[in-house]
Structure 1
């Protein structure tokens, strides 16, 4: 049962194969088994690749099954259509496109399995990349909000600086009227005279202005600080909103990129293994000598070809005879007087009818003038 199944996988003609020796059948059983197990690997590869995309077992298995059947059909077609010839040049010519297709299939199959084999190493690389992306995102968000934060901080600093200048002015006025009272500056007269009162009033007005300025600027500073806090909250919220997206940075393309950052040789040798498995049926057929199956298949094809050639020649002879009969019949009909008289009467009647219709049309035109 298993032998019949693998012979079916090899694409060999079962009727011809039934007449071949066990050795010849075993050769094609090996080719069919290679085709089958390549399809199994394609199923595992595609299922894993699609699971990383959809995160759903049923979808991954369904697509993996379809993909494996497609690969199975392609491999079976490649093997079954490769014919052994007497000249190796012609075999190489027909095998080249099949080898190219087999190489492409092997690369496509091997890549998802490489991702699974090196999954732990790839996860480590992905964590580093996610952290790097998180830092880049934080810098970008900070840069986006930086302008508003700096502008608000500058306004706060300007308001505080304005209060500081006013305080300095008040302190200076205070020092002026105190030293005036002590007689150490100004009029140099000790006591609270007229000049002292003027300087004291000027200080009091400045002090009152300072209080007003502090109250007014305090309200502005509080509003600006509230805006700064709101901007910082928005900044943090923006950073946090991107975190779930960054955690999802583990799809198939991200994993392929991460695989590219690992050592080249392990991945390369795994791909070589799949290349060897995928191209094995074609290479085996090319390297082995023509066997019993090849001779019988060629004999059957030649027999069919001869039958078709004979049928075509018979058709050409029949057509030639038919043409000769038609030519002879035409020549006899041309000399047939009865047929000539019948045709003459027909055409005379047609010409008379045409002449009559033309005359009636002309009469209608004359009446309408």
Structure 2
């Protein structure tokens, strides 16, 4: 952790969490955050759904919802970025307070509800940052909470923003928009992905499409989602979003309504990841997210079946420089385990997660 982070993080933790997030983004835009550039090595570099990644450690959606600082995050050590989530029309999200730190559990709870400036505003911001990128930029896409046709919303966001990003993630798993997780049902999901696929085909340069799923799924639901994902021909699956489960938490704020992320999500999300890897026969690229806070966590996700990982909540405790540190240490861990490439490690320990 940099000296600036050691001084700044305690200050941010004394602020309201949402205010602290806004201050952190402002500091990032001003160039005050660590910018080591992408961390890479022959062992870390990989190809994911046609995307060349300098390393497999990505930024999860939610940190930069409105694409305010992708040009700075591009230099922060990540191997790829996921911006958003974004809906067709701007919406304020749920009333505040809607973000809580749980220090005793190294976790956070949010019930933002897809607050964002809307697809057109994000497109204008991304257009200002057109040009060469150090890492791929992706976008998490969603639906307006009052939309009469949510499937249409996903396709519409892709039509507007597809020309400005390198990949897109269909988010049907946020617990903070009423009814959204019902779109994970096989029939609903198949129809939704068909519309997204049609919109993608209409772009001058179609992008890889990922699907983000919830951790609160049983084996039958995971199996059904795997079949739909394979039939739809999507590029991969992001496993997982936040959870509504509160088992084993210690912090007095644990009962706040919303999605839980951070350390307690690591095991359940990794079990879903491993099950999905089995159900897809290892043929579909998976991105593991949920509780990643160290290189050991990242390697565990990879060995459970992930070709890449993402983090967000851990940045609250470890600072933005955590991404570069995890990538650097992951290189050493892979070498120590005898893996010459990242791909060699993918899925090598997934069966253990299915037994737990």
TM-score by length of 2: 0.17
Q: Give 1 or 2 for the bigger CA radius of gyration.
A: 1
Of structures 1 and 2, the one scoring higher in RCO (CA 8 A, sep 6+) is 1
TM-score by length of 1: 0.17
